């Protein structure tokens, strides 16, 4: 390990924010670009952090982007760091972390399954929870909202045009 | 004594063929499907296929208010439903800054630890059933039924508890509950001795478990394996210690670890965890304060403020995380449930590679998965 | 020899039906009954009695309810008392499918295949709210689950609950036994 982690994060991230752990449950939040994700993940890996989860927020209504959220944590003493990476699901792909953190493989498949965000160089980017022939991305905000159900209720099963 | 991993010479002769196990298979613990590529009886490649129990919990969370989602929480992982239910309550309490009265903290710890014991007992029974022993299953279910009776008397349900409320619990416990819990722990200690004689020292079990399905520290780290499976690989990580929640820092308990990372180590870790849970319950009963079970001042509506929040707790299977994003309304904008079995199972392809087909049952059974928790 | 009731073509043994209440064919097709069937009815009754008291459920858990199904088979509730404790791992050996848990859209073709693999005569028990109508997971626009087991297999007994207690499952098994004894079943 040549450079320590905080320095490396400062170098790579676009913006960083200290957060009150007692209130929100994580220590720092960093906004990054897709180009530095792999370098930063490698820095976390070398500093002994685990990748707890990858998830996504559908912010297309406000920013036309999907916001990928990565959560890293240290097992010895808690230090939870969130990474935010905004991506346009129609034109861009996020780099995969499955070469560094093997667990990222399934997390990324789940994000693809639920939000339709693609990951470049992913070894097996296919549906994980939904059936293989599903033609929708279930957790997108424009799909299957409860309040948009027809008056009939029970029969309103058809998916969106996603 | 250390258990060296079993050496297997990788076979290169013979044709590669594919074997499908599940989703309906007696040892697949629900609806897991494993597509195995085999050469002879040796596994060359294993691919778990999941999603057969996907119930759209996360979509429901985005469509309901935080309070309406409460009954869902114990159905995510029905074996440690109480821990999930209380964990979800604690997440919302953390977000809304609700103080939990002391008595409710103690009751919660008793309920959660009883639930953890019942989950481990069920695993103990079914795991040994998978390995071909039906007697321990009958004994462990006998013990488990007693826990269910105790929890039933105060919660009204046997499995999918909805005991927690934001700020406390639904019903106060009476002295009879505490006496029954104390008596049960006394009984369980004698039963654990019997299990040791009946099961743990059994040569057939040892032959089937020692050195089988080794998850190394490095593998566990890369996949973020947590819970007993991680502690069996020699890492003393327990969310209850690492980031104490719900009053666990007031009590004295140990985090049992084993060094070898094989199925036998996972077996030992769970049995030792039962003992630690017993200790926690005893302490909580001994120091049970009088008082309210719900805070005096409560917000009228549970509005999730703008921003993102993370809450972690330790379920019977590992690190259960709730990541919630609020937009100021009653309904969360986003809720991600980070479930331990999902990560634990994702390490299976690597663990199964190179092992024998017959060991698959012991290895998959040994990590203790609950499918609806993986599929959510 | 029991009394032959020509109306519904079933021979009644006092042991089987002491009240001698009329039992209707579920298909309601009285034209099916011919003298040859009447002669076989004693054997049919005996067979049905045998079937009713040795139900072999399929080892098949879907979700939460499966744990209560296991509990019903374990030491405290002991479904063996009613002859229904022989859980078979293979569909080819089973004659009762206990649908215990939520049926996802991904799982429903598998369930249909298992049902088709089971040899006739066979019966299905829908255990828990999810298999009745989707239960707690039913909401408008639900994309993931099949709302009710009866969309996939013909269900004989419905057991409400989330999950039903083992006593409720046993009550369901006892109800099914009555149905089997009376020779009622869906074909196919």
- B31 in C contact zone (CB under 8 Å): yes
| B372 to chain C, closest Cα gap in Å | 6
**Shortest CB distance from B142 goes to which of C67, C75, C107?**
C75
Domains of chain B: 55-374 (1.10.645.10)
Same domain for C159 and C75: yes
Mark whether C84 and C129 lie in a shared domain.
yes
> How many domains does the structure of chain A reveal?
1
Considering the domain architecture, whether residues C44 and C70 belong to the same structural domain is answered as no
Contacts for A55 with CB less than 8 Å, ≥ 6 apart: A68, A69, A107, A111, B323, B334, B336, B338
| B-C C-beta contacts closer than 8 Å | 97
- The answer to whether A139 faces chain B, any CB pair under 8 Å, is yes
What is the per-residue pLDDT for C12? 47
Determine, yes or no, domain membership for C188: no
Distance CA B296, CA A49 (A): 41
- Across the interface, whether the CB atoms of C141 and A154 are under 8 A apart is answered no
Domain containing residue C74: CATH number: 3.40.50.12280
Residue of B nearest to A53 (CA): B338
* Residues on chain C touching B144 (C-beta within 8 angstroms): 71
Q: Does B48 touch chain C (CB under 8 A)?
A: no
**Does one domain contain both C102 and C138?**
yes
Q: For the domain that residue A123 is a member of, what is the CATH number?
A: 3.30.460.80
Residues C63, C156, single domain; the answer is: yes
Domain that holds residue C18: 3-52
Distance of residue A141 Cα from the nearest chain C Cα, in angstroms: 13
Shortest CA distance from C61: residue in chain B: B30
> Do C70 and C130 share a domain, yes or no?
yes
Among B45, B88, B99, B221, the strongest candidate for a mutation testing the A interface, having the largest count of A CBs within 10 A, is B221
DSSP assignment of A3-69, as one string?
A: S-HHHHHHHH-SEEEE--HHHHS-SEEEEE-GGGHHHHHHHHHHTTEEEEEEEEEEEHHHHSEEEEE
Report CB contact under 8 Å: C91, B158: no
Kindly state the tokens that stand for B224: 């973020």
Q: Which chain B residue has the Cα nearest residue C137? A: B55
User: Nearest by CB to A128, which of B51, B309, B319?
Assistant: B51
**B307–A53 C-beta distance less than 8 A:** no
B126 reaches A (C-beta below 8 A): no
C128: in domain: yes
Mean pLDDT of C96-114: 89
| C73 within domain boundaries | yes
Tell me what percent of the residues of chain C surpass a pLDDT of 70.
76
What are the angstrom distances between the C-alpha of B66 and each of A11, B57, B60, B167, B335?
A: 39, 12, 10, 13, 10
Enter the ipTM.
0.88
- C45 and C84 share one domain: no
> What gap in Å lies between CA B151 and CA B114, rounded to an integer?
8
C21, C72: one domain: no
- Give contacts of B 195-234 with A, CB under 8 A: 219, 221-224
Chains that touch B (3 or more CB pairs under 8 A): A, C
Instruction: Tell me which chain A residues have a C-beta less than 8 angstroms from the C-beta of C143.
Output: 136, 138, 143-144, 157, 159
- Element counts in chain A: helices (H) and strands (E): 5, 7
Shared domain check, C61 and C45: no
B55 and C110 in contact by Cβ < 8 A? no
Subunits with at least 3 CB pairs below 8 A relative to chain A?
B, C
Same domain, C18 and C111: no
Q: What is the pLDDT of residue A13?
A: 79
Kindly determine whether residue A69 and residue B323, on different chains, have CB atoms separated by under 8 Å: yes
Q: Which among C106, C141, C147 has the least Cβ separation from residue A144?
A: C141
Distance (Å) from the alpha carbon of A56 to chain C's nearest alpha carbon: 19
pLDDT at A150: 43
Same domain, C42 and C67: no
The answer to whether residue A55 neighbours chain B at the CB level (below 8 Å) is yes
Distance of CA B338 to the CA centre of its chain: 13
C74:B52 CB<8 A: no
Taking the CB of residue B305, how many other CB atoms lie within 10 A of it?
A: 13
pLDDT at B185: 93
A116, B182, B223, B342, C70 from A113: Cα distances, Å = 6, 47, 19, 15, 33
Average pLDDT over chain A, rounded to an integer? 82
Domain with A53, as residue range(s), is: 5-159
Axis-axis angle for helices B102-130, B263-286 (nearest 10) = 150
| Contact residues on chain A for C139, CB-CB shorter than 8 A | 146
Distance to chain B for A54, nearest Cα, Å: 9
How many structural domains comprise chain C? 2
Domain-located, residue C92: yes
- Given an 8 Å threshold on Cβ–Cβ distance, is C64 in contact with B75? yes
Run of H or E residues at B325:
strand B318-326
Q: How far apart are CA B27 and CA B364, in angstroms?
A: 9
Residues of C in contact with B72 (CB under 8 A): 136
Which residues of A fall within a CB distance of 8 Å from C140?
A: 146, 149-150, 153-154, 156
Same domain, C139 and C75: yes
Q: Please list the pLDDT of chain B residue by residue as tens digits (376 residues).
A: 455 555 555 666 678 889 888 787 776 677 888 899 888 888 888 999 998 889 889 888 888 888 889 998 988 988 889 999 999 999 999 888 888 999 999 999 999 999 999 999 999 998 998 888 888 889 999 999 999 999 999 998 888 898 988 888 998 888 999 999 999 999 999 999 988 888 888 888 888 888 888 898 889 999 999 999 999 998 989 999 888 888 898 999 999 998 888 899 999 999 999 999 999 999 999 999 988 888 888 888 888 888 899 999 999 999 999 999 998 888 899 999 999 999 999 999 988 888 888 888 889 888 888 888 898 8
Q: Which residues of A touch B245 (CB under 8 A)?
A: none
């Amino acid at each position: 390990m040549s450079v320590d982690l905080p320095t490396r994060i400062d170098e790579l991230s676009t913006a960083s924010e200290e957060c009150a752990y007692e209130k929100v449950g994580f220590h720092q939040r960093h906004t990054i670009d897709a180009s530095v994700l792999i370098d930063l993940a490698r820095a976390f890996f070398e500093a002994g952090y685990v990748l707890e989860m990858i998830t996504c927020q559908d912010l297309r209504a406000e920013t036309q982007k999907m916001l990928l959220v990565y959560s890293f944590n240290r097992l010895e003493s808690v230090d939870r760091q969130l990474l935010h990476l905004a991506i346009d699901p129609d034109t861009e792909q996020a780099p995969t972390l499955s070469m560094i953190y093997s667990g990222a493989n399934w997390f990324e498949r789940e994000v693809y399954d639920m939000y339709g965000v693609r990951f470049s160089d992913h070894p097996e980017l296919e549906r994980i929870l939904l059936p293989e022939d599903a033609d929708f991305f279930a957790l997108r905000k424009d799909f299957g909202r409860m309040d948009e159900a027809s008056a009939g209720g029970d029969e309103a099963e058809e998916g969106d045009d996603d | 004594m250390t258990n060296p991993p079993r050496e297997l010479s990788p076979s290169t002769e013979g044709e590669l063929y594919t074997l499908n196990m599940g989703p309906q298979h007696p040892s697949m613990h629900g609806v897991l499907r494993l597509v195995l590529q085999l050469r002879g009886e040796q596994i060359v490649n294993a691919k778990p296929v999941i999603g057969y129990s996907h119930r759209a919990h996360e979509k429901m969370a985005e469509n309901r208010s935080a309070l309406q989602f409460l009954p869902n929480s114990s159905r995510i992982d029905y074996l440690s439903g109480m821990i999930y239910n209380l964990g979800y309550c604690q997440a919302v309490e953390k977000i809304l800054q609700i103080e939990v009265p002391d008595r409710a903290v103690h009751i919660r710890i008793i309920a959660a630890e009883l639930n953890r014991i019942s989950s481990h007992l069920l695993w103990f029974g079914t795991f040994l059933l998978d390995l071909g022993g039906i007697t321990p299953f009958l004994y462990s279910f006998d013990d488990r039924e007693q826990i269910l009776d105790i929890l039933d008397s105060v919660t009204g349900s046997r499995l999918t508890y909805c005991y927690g409320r934001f700020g406390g619990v639904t019903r106060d416990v009476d002295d009879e509950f505490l006496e029954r819990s104390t008596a049960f722990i006394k009984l369980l200690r004698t039963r654990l001795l019997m299990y040791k004689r009946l099961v743990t020292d059994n040569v057939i079990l040892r032959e089937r478990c020692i050195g089988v399905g080794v998850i190394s520290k490095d593998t566990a780290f890369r996949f973020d394996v947590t819970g007993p499976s991680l502690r069996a690989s020699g890492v003393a990580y327990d969310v209850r210690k690492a980031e104490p929640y719900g009053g666990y820092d007031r009590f004295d308990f140990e985090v049992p670890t084993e060094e070898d990372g094989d199925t036998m180590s996972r077996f030992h870790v769970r049995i030792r965890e039962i003992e630690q849970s017993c200790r926690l319950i005893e302490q909580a009963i001994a120091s049970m304060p009088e008082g309210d079970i719900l805070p005096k001042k409560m917000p009228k509506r549970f509005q999730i403020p703008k921003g993102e929040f993370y809450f972690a707790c330790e379920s019977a299977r590992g690190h259960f995380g709730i990541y919630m994003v609020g937009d100021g309304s009653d309904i969360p904008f986003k809720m991600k449930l980070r479930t331990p079995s999902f990560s634990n199972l994702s390490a299976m392809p690597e663990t199964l590679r190179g092992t024998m087909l017959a060991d698959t049952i012991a290895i998959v059974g040994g990590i203790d998965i609950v499918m609806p928790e993986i599929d959510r | 020899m029991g009394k032959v009731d020509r109306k519904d073509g079933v021979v009644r043994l006092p042991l089987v039906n002491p009240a001698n209440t009329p039992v209707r064919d579920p298909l309601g097709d009285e034209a099916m009954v011919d003298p040859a069937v009447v002669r076989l009815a004693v054997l049919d009754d005996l067979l049905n009695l045998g079937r009713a008291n040795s139900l072999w459920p399929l080892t098949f858990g879907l979700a939460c309810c499966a744990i209560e199904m296991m509990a019903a088979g374990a030491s405290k509730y002991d479904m063996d008392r009613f002859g229904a404790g022989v859980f078979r791992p293979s569909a080819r050996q089973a004659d009762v499918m206990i649908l215990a848990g939520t049926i996802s859209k991904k799982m429903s073709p598998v369930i249909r295949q298992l049902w088709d693999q089971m040899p006739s005569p066979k019966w299905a028990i829908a255990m828990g709210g999810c298999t009745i109508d989707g239960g707690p997971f039913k909401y408008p626009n639900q994309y993931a689950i099949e709302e009710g087991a009866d969309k996939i297999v013909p269900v004989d007994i419905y057991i409400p609950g989330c999950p039903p207690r083992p006593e409720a499952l046993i009550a369901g098994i006892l109800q099914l036994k009555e149905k089997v004894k009376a020779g009622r079943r869906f074909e196919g």
